[in-house]
């Protein structure tokens, strides 16, 4: 239970709803020992993370979408972003775009536009690095020599 970050009631609900099916071993006891494999633990955590920004009903719509289009229904290995009432699936294979990432809309509360590709404007990591370096170089408070030694990423000189 501790590894999943979920309460026993939450785990029971996920099992009743068919989202997670743990192994039960009775071994002559009144109450069985309940075991979750590593994939199930990751799945519970993924569902819990999504629940922070969306409803369980929307999560079911996401899973229904994956099932309808014969996509693996596991959430643990997918980059899913919830913005307002819309949910997008961002595939890592699409991450070679420099300034925009293509995202597939997989759910929303009204069910409109599901299955459509959307362009989400996401700043490129190098742009963020360059911006931080520029601020550091122009700062009167930051010791730039110390900053240069400690920085994990270098600015792009062409920017």
Would you place residue 11 in the very low, low, confident or very high pLDDT band (cuts 50, 70, 90)? very high
Question: Which backbone phi and psi does 137 adopt, to 5 degrees?
Answer: -70, -30
Q: How many CB atoms are located within 10 Å of the residue 101 CB?
A: 21
Q: Can you give the pTM of this predicted structure?
A: 0.61
CA nearest to 19, candidates 65, 59, 53: 59
Q: 68 to each of 57, 82, 92, how far by Cα in Å?
A: 16, 20, 21
pLDDT, one tens digit per residue, over 140-151 is 888 888 888 887
d(CA 17, CA 143): 56
Question: Which backbone phi and psi does 56 adopt, to 5 degrees?
Answer: -65, -30
pLDDT, one tens digit per residue, over 87-103 is 888 765 544 544 445 67
The mean pLDDT of the chain is 80
The average pLDDT across 35-61 equals 88
DSSP code, position 156: P
């Amino acid at each position: 239970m501790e590894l999943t970050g979920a309460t026993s009631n939450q785990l029971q609900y996920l099992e009743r709803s068919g989202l997670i099916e743990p192994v039960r071993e009775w071994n002559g006891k009144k109450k069985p020992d309940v075991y979750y494999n590593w994939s199930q633990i990751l799945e519970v955590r993924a569902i819990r993370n999504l629940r922070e920004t969306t409803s369980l009903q929307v999560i079911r719509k996401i899973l229904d979408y994956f099932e309808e289009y014969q996509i693996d229904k596991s959430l643990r290995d997918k980059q899913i972003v919830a913005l307002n009432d819309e949910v997008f699936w961002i595939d890592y294979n699409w991450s070679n775009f420099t300034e925009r990432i293509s995202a597939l809309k997989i759910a929303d509360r009204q069910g409109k536009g599901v299955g459509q590709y959307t362009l989400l404007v996401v700043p490129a990591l190098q742009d963020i690095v360059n911006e931080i370096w520029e601020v550091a170089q122009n700062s009167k408070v930051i010791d730039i020599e110390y900053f240069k030694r400690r920085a994990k990423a270098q600015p792009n000189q062409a920017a």
